Structure 1
Amino acid sequence: MTLITLNNCPAPAKLNLFLHVNGRRDDGYHLLQTVFQLVDHGDTVHFSLRDDGQILRVTDLPGVPQEQDLIIRAARLLQAEVLRRTGSLPRGVDIAIDKRLPMGGGLGGGSSDAATTLMALNKLWQGGLTREELMALGLPLGADIPFFIFGENAFAEGVGEHLQAVATPDCWYVVIEPGVQVATAAIFCAEGLTRDTEAVTIADFSRHLAESNSANGFGKNDLQQVACSLFKPVADAVEWLSAYGEARMTGSGACVFGAFSTKEEADEVLSNVPAVWSAWKAKALSQHPLLTML
Structure 2
Amino acid sequence: MSLDASLVLVDGPWEHRFVAANGARFHVAEQGEGPLVLLLHGFPQFWWAWRHQLSALAEAGYRACALDLRGYGASDKPPRGYDTRTSATDVASVLRSLGGSRAAVVGHGWGGWIAWAMPTLQPTVTRAVASVSMPHPLVFRKASLTQPAQLKASGYLAGLQRPFVPERQMTVNGGYVQRLLREWASPEGIWPSPQEARLYAEAMALPFVAHSAAEYYRWVVRSQLRPDGWRFAASMRTPITVPVLQLHGAHDPVVLPRTALQPVEAVRGRFERRLVPDAGHFLPEEAPDVVTAHLLDWLAGLPD
For normalisation by structure 2, the TM-score amounts to: 0.27
- Which of 1 and 2 has greater Rg? 1
Query: Which structure is higher in strand share?
Result: 1
Give 1 or 2: higher helix fraction: 2
Greater length-normalized contact order (CA 8 Å, ≥ 6 residues apart): 1
